[in-house]
Amino acid sequence: MMISLLALLAAAQAAPATSPAPPLPSDPIPGDWRPIPDDELLVMTLAGKRTVVIRLAPGTAPEHVANVRRLARAKWWDGESVYRVQEGWVAQWGDPNDDEPGKPSKRKPLPADVVKVPAAEYDIATFAPAQRLTRADAYSTASGITADGWPVATDGTASWVTHCYGTVGVARDNSPDTGSGSELFTPIGQAARRLDRNYTIVGRVIEGMKYLSALRRSDAPLGVYAKAAERTPIVSARLASDIPAAQRPHFEYRAADNPRFAAMIDMRLHPKGLVALGGIDVCDVPLAARRVGAQ
């Protein structure tokens, strides 16, 4: 096994060491961890007791998040599935049924209060990352991490949340205003940045991403499983706020509006003993969240 440096780089996000070494400038202090409200957590349980926890993004996708909350309260996803796992692209879940021209729709009806809404976008005035990255990337002219831990980018006019590994996007049909939040996907390979501005990020997987990323790939066109038996059933999807207090999970995110977070980025830009590359991609900045308390 040869692993040392590779490991060291990967471990940069890891919890503080248990050794008595003094804290690094990049180690978060207790106040850097801030609670995620219970109604901003979607707890999706897949068959086999595999729990995927999604932090919702009401600040940037309020209408889509409102839909997700309605769908969760209607228990709409219960009994649905992860029906699409395309190698190097996305895992997608919801209702696998599709419309066929000239036939009655087989799609599961949406709750009456769930309306399809246009892709979210916001203007440059809202582009205010707490950590602004120093180099542009191929898809934007500036990018960074907001105080509350979301990856954002701008082209100088509009700004948006970026499609990184593990962010949760709203699937839709051809027209940009056909997404409701009922069909969701997450990139399981290279960031899907070419979807930026065309699709809406409604959240981010903060626990259990491995239960989506390691699902068997489908060889069928577009990664949609050819047989129903291949799908991974969704047992339930609930807002944490709707889960009885005794079972309710609690999570915190690592805030970015502090010098520890800046030091972590700087450590990535100037890794000890390595050739420095001068920049870091917005999708490569570690965005930590952690489960706290009992449960």
Q: Any contact of residue 124 with a second copy (CB under 8 A)?
A: no
Reduce the secondary structure of the chain to three states and give it as a string.
Answer: CCCHHHHHHHHHHCCCCCCCCCCCCCCCCHHHEEECCHHHEEEEEECCCEEEEEEECCCCCHHHHHHHHHHHHCCCCCCCEEEEECCCCEEEEECCCCCCCCCCCCCCCCCCCCCCECCCCEEHHHCCCCEECCCCECCECEEEECCCCCEEEECCCEEEECCCCCEEEECCCCCCCCECCCCEEEECCCCCHHHCCCCCEEEEEEECCHHHHCCCCCCCHHHECCCHHHCEEEEEEEEHHHCCCCCCCEEEEECCCCHHHHHHHHHHHCCCCCCCCCCCCHHHCCCCEEEECCC
Tell me the per-residue interface mask from 242 to 271 with a second copy, x by CB under 8 A, - otherwise: --------------------------x--x
Cβ 192 to a second copy, closest distance in Å? Answer: 8
Residue 198: CB minimum distance to a second copy, A: 5
Which residues ranging from 213 to 232 are in contact with a second copy (CB under 8 A)? Answer: 213-217, 221-224
Q: Contacting a second copy (CB under 8 A), which of 77, 199, 253, 261?
A: 199
Of the pair 37, 122, the CB lying nearest a second copy is at 122
From CA 81, how far away is CA 233, in angstroms rounded? 4
Kindly indicate which of the ranges 4-12, 18-26, 144-152, 287-295 contains the residues binding a second copy, using the contact rule CB under 8 A. 4-12
Question: Is residue 166 near a second copy by the rule CB under 8 A?
Answer: yes
231 versus 238: smaller Cβ distance to a second copy: 231
Residues binding a second copy: number (CB under 8 A): 80
Choices 64-72, 122-130, 170-178, 237-245; region in contact with a second copy by CB under 8 A:
170-178
Query: CB of residue 214 vs a second copy: minimum separation in angstroms?
Result: 5
Q: Is 114 in the site for a second copy (CB under 8 A)?
A: no
275 counts as binding a second copy under rule CB under 8 A: yes
What is the footprint of a second copy within residues 136-165 (CB under 8 A)?
136-140, 155, 164-165
Q: Which of residues 41-100 bind a second copy (CB under 8 A)?
A: 83-90, 92, 94-98
- The Cα 36–Cα 13 span in angstroms is 20
Question: Site for a second copy (CB under 8 A): which residue of 37, 233, 279, 290?
Answer: 279
Contact stretch for a second copy (CB under 8 A) within 30-38, 39-47, 123-131, 191-199: 191-199
Regarding 207 and contact with a second copy (CB under 8 A), the answer is no
Residues 14 and 287: their CA atoms lie apart, in Å, by 11
